[in-house]
């Protein structure tokens, strides 16, 4: 038995047991015990309009199959071996011949809509707002009286504005031409695409060749509203594609930035780069579990600890790989590719052994949950907004390291002319180690970002390694600004192509474009300078 049946419903019954007479007219309740489906639906809508605790009690009982009727038409709410008569609120043992009221799918849908509408009267603003947003998708003419009543009681400006649009949506199918016309005009500012079928129906022709909407003035207003709605939807979709393209570009940037250093500056084809991102993601998971176990009150701070932890762990793994394997393979790209591919398989198997083959969940902190609604219906999620700014911060940090620090000076010197740098006293081996560690640490930061967008699994890095190489090659080997432009550009192009060509065809199109582009401009968007470019 559900928690509502065990706790909430008995509490409501006790509350109403002190009332001497029922708040709902027995004549309104009587059709629920009958066999006429239309009359039962009409009764549910009448009960919902009351918008009080008695209405909630009856509708909840109907939904939970605890509403019973006796042969003489008396209605009872049954709880185990007790029955409460809705006519007088008296609780008695189960009467003779009592039987449950059968609720078919049609009636159940009406009851669900009615219960959803009753949330409009909650004292919790968030609950009322959620109810309004839900009603935007499915408001019906039967719910119009309930919505109108909620509109008269609502004081919050945002919710009241949304309720006005919901009320107009519910009135689109009204039998009164004046009400329909007012509803169509009121919806000119709506961004709800769910009303398009109802508007289109007003513009369509019937089987007899006559318009389904007989009133010409309403048809004109419906056409104007449809045009305004389509324009608004196009603008919203464009803005949404821009945002999600920037979000995808930021993820590609974080995953490719470390590769731009190891592959672009060092010439290492590191096929284990995706697994370094995976290590960063699993480090985030470990930090989350540690906070849940030892500091549950500060769980929202786990991500702040996970960032340096992921950088250090992934960077350390990268340094170990460079010192033990990769340092012996410089200048031998094919052997480097094969060796790092084997390392990637070993790292994936090690993670499967430690954490299991199943994906693990990394929850967003509360300050990254939810989103902000713009343009009426476009939701910009906080986690993606944070990742966009985080990617820009990492790019700035890498630029400062490469251009404003002693390490960056040595890295650029080794990149442009390794032999000359070695001759003037630069420890090229140490610089190689630190550069590879830096690129690996940035890959770990990319894993932290990926953990906030989905589940974490041993195969996480495999989904991004090809895209990361495409970003680096397109942007120009060793060019930070090229990596940024290529990542954001590919993210935007991918998001704008997906609705037209589909996800798979969009990736194929991008791959073909990159192949053709590299044929015409092998150095990428930005050419490398120095002896290494020769």
pLDDT at 376: 67
Q: Mean pLDDT over residues 275-303, rounded?
A: 90
Question: Is it the case that residue 532 has pLDDT exceeding 60?
Answer: no
Residue 58: the pLDDT is: 81
Same domain, 252 and 300: yes
Give the residue, 132 or 316, on which the prediction is more confident: 316
- 73 and 165 belong to one structural domain: no
Angle, helices 382-404 vs 428-451, to 10°: value is: 170
pLDDT band with cut points at 50, 70 and 90 for residue 305 = very high
Same domain, 182 and 55: no
Per-residue pLDDT at 310: 93
Cβ–Cβ under 8 Å, residues 472 and 483? yes
Question: What mean pLDDT is reported for the chain?
Answer: 80
Write out the two tokens for 225. Answer: 């509203």
Residue whose token pair is 């432009």: 485
Phi-psi map region of 216: left, alpha, beta (phi>0 left; psi -120 to 50 alpha) = alpha
Q: Per-residue pLDDT averaged across 70-95, rounded?
A: 80
Average pLDDT over residues 118-126: 75
Do 132 and 82 lie in a common domain? no
* Same-domain check for residues 271 and 377: yes
233 in any annotated domain: no
Same domain, 98 and 137: no
Q: At residue 531, does pLDDT exceed 50?
A: no
Same domain, 173 and 302: no
Q: What is the pLDDT of residue 14?
A: 43
Tell whether 230 is covered by a domain.
no
Choose one of 108, 134, 160: the last residue of a domain: 108
Share of the chain above pLDDT 90, in %: 10
The pLDDT value recorded for residue 315 is 92
Do 209 and 247 sit in the same domain of this protein?
Answer: no
**Does the pLDDT of residue 74 top 70, yes or no?**
yes
pLDDT confidence of residue 280 = 92
> Does residue 225 lie in a domain region?
no
93 and 134, same domain (yes or no): no
- Count of domains forming the chain: 3
pLDDT-based confidence at 264, cuts 50/70/90? low
pLDDT at 121 over 80: no
Higher pLDDT, 245 or 23: 245
Q: Report residue 4's pLDDT band, with 50, 70 and 90 as the boundaries.
A: very low
The arithmetic mean of pLDDT across residues 87-91, rounded, is: 78
Whether residue 113 lies inside any domain: the answer is no
Q: Comparing 82-91, 128-137, 504-513, 521-530, which segment has the lowest mean pLDDT?
A: 521-530
Q: Stretch 159-184: mean pLDDT, rounded?
A: 77
pLDDT of 314: 93
From CA 454, how far away is CA 91, in angstroms rounded? 51
Q: What is the number of alpha carbons within 13 Å of residue 459 lying toward its C-beta? A: 4
User: Measured between alpha carbons, how far is 125 from 327 in angstroms, rounded to an integer?
Assistant: 61
Q: What is the DSSP string of 102-115?
A: P--HHHHHHHHHHH
Which of 23-27, 311-315, 343-347, 367-371 bottoms out in mean pLDDT, i.e. has the lowest?
23-27
Same domain, 349 and 462: yes
The count of other CB atoms within 10 Å of the CB of residue 178 is 10
Overall average pLDDT of the 52-57 stretch: 78
- Indicate if the pLDDT at residue 316 is higher than 90: yes
Asked if residue 356 is part of any domain, the answer here is: yes
Contacts of 137 (CB under 8 A, 6+ apart): 192, 194
Cβ count within 10 A of residue 212: 13
Higher pLDDT, 88 or 439: 439
Is residue 134 one of the residues assigned to a domain? Answer: yes
pLDDT of 20 higher than 70: no
Q: Of 214, 248, 279, which residue constitutes the final position of a domain?
A: 214
* CA pair distance 159, 127, nearest whole angstrom: 11
**Which residue from 78, 79, 62 is spatially nearest to 70, judged by alpha carbons?**
78
164 and 42 fall within a common domain: no
Q: How many helices (H) and strands (E) does the chain have?
A: 22, 7
pLDDT over 80 at 520, yes or no: no
Please check the confidence at residue 249 and state whether its pLDDT lies above 70.
yes
CA nearest neighbour of 89 among 129, 130, 53? 53
- The C-alpha atoms of residue 437 and residue 261 are separated, in whole angstroms, by 10
What HEC string does 224-246 produce? HHHHHHHHHHHHHHHHHHHHHHH
Task: Specify if 231 maps to a domain.
Answer: no
Which residue segment(s) compose the domain that 519 sits in? 239-533
One domain, residues 176 and 303: no
The pLDDT value given to residue 534: 46
């Amino acid at each position: 038995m559900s928690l509502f049946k065990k706790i909430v419903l008995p509490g409501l019954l006790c509350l109403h047991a002190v009332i001497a007479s029922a708040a709902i007219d027995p004549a309104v309740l009587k059709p629920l015990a009958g066999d006429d489906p239309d009359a039962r639906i009409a009764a549910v809508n009448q009960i919902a309009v009351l918008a009080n605790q008695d209405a909630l009690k009856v509708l909840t009982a109907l939904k939970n199959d605890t509403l019973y009727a006796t042969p003489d038409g008396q209605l009872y709410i049954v709880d185990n071996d007790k029955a409460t008569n809705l006519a007088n609120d008296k609780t008695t043992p189960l009467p003779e011949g009592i039987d449950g009221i059968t609720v078919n799918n049609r009636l159940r849908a009406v009851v669900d809509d009615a219960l959803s509408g009753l949330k409009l009267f909650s004292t919790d603003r968030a609950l009322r707002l959620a109810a309004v947003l839900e009603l935007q998708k499915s408001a019906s003419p039967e719910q119009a009286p309930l919505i109108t009543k909620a509109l008269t009681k609502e004081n919050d400006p945002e919710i009241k504005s949304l309720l006005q649009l919901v009320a107009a949506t519910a009135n689109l199918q009204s039998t009164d031409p004046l009400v329909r016309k007012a509803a169509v005009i009121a919806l000119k500012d709506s961004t709800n695409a769910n009303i398009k079928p109802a508007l289109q129906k007003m513009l369509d022709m019937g089987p007899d060749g006559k318009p389904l909407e007989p009133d010409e003035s309403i048809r004109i207003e419906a056409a104007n509203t449809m045009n305004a709605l389509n324009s608004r939807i196009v603008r919203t979709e464009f803005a949404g594609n821009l945002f999600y393209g920037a979000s995808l570009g930021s993820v590609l940037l974080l995953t490719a930035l470390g590769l731009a250093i190891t592959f672009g500056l060092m010439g290492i084809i590191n096929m284990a780069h995706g697994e370094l991102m995976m290590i960063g993601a699993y480090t985030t998971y470990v930090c989350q579990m540690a906070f849940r176990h030892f500091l549950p009150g500060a769980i929202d701070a786990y991500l702040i600890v996970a960032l340096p932890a992921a950088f250090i762990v992934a960077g350390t793994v990268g340094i170990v790989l460079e010192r033990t394997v990769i340092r012996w393979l410089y200048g031998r790209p094919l052997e480097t590719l094969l060796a790092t591919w084997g390392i990637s398989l070993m790292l994936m198997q090690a993670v499967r052994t430690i954490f299991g083959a199943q994906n693990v969940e990394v929850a967003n902190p509360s300050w990254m949950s939810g989103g902000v609604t713009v343009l009426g219906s476009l939701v910009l999620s906080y986690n993606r907004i944070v990742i966009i700014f985080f990617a820009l911060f990492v790019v700035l940090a890498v630029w400062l390291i490469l251009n404003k620090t002693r390490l960056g000076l040595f890295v650029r010197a080794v990149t442009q002319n390794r032999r000359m740098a070695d001759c003037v006293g630069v420890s090229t081996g140490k610089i190689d180690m630190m550069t590879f560690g830096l690129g690996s640490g940035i890959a770990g930061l990319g894993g932290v970002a990926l953990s906030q967008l989905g589940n974490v699994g041993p195969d996480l890095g495999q989904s991004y390694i090809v895209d990361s190489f495409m970003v680096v090659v397109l942007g120009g080997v060793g060019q930070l600004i090229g990596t940024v432009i290529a990542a954001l550009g590919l993210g935007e192009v991918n998001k704008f192509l997906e609705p037209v060509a589909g996800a798979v065809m969009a990736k194929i199109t991008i791959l073909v474009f990159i192949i053709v582009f590299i044929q015409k401009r092998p150095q990428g968007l930005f050419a490398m300078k120095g002896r290494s470019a020769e």
